[in-house]
Amino acid sequence: MERTGITKMKGNPVTLVGNILEIGDNVSDFTVLTSGLAPKRLADFEGKVKLISVTPSLDTPVCDAQLHWFNEEAAKQPGDVVVINVSMDLPFAIKRFCATEDIDRVETLSDHRDASFGNAFGVLMKELRLLARSLFVVDRENVVRYIQIVPEQTEEPNYEEALEALKKVL
């Protein structure tokens, strides 16, 4: 599926490709890579509440700020919550970034190989082959409880709104 009119990059409309998720939908499985090149699937987070932060590229100021914000918040969450960041960055770049920036509480994953996550969550930007800045809360049964696709990709998401949604799931 392709959708337009949802988000822009630097004022230019982009097309989102993939599933159209709505609150209450079950999430499709996906496979991404860890910074050590190991595959990671949705099933690997079974029984956890998932707060998923999606960034176009960690090497930009807004993505950097978003990941740092969630790294701090991850430390405050109970053990049954996993905070995940997914981008199209190469696993090697993610590993370097996290080591340099002391990102150690967020599960940072790469969707570069197959765009599996981007298609499953409907946030793959067709024109750029990057993921659209977005936030998701997915409950223990893999049901979507919150969706935020940022209208302008160069702007930060509404962090507090996502945390409120997370609290409702706990």
Active site residues: 63
Question: For the stretch 17-43, what's the b/e string if a residue is b when 16 or more beta carbons lie within 10 angstroms of its beta carbon?
Answer: bbbebeeeeebbebbbbbbeeeebebe
Two tokens, residue 168: 């409702």
- DSSP symbol at 5: S
Among 11, 90, 17, 15, CA closest to 58: 90
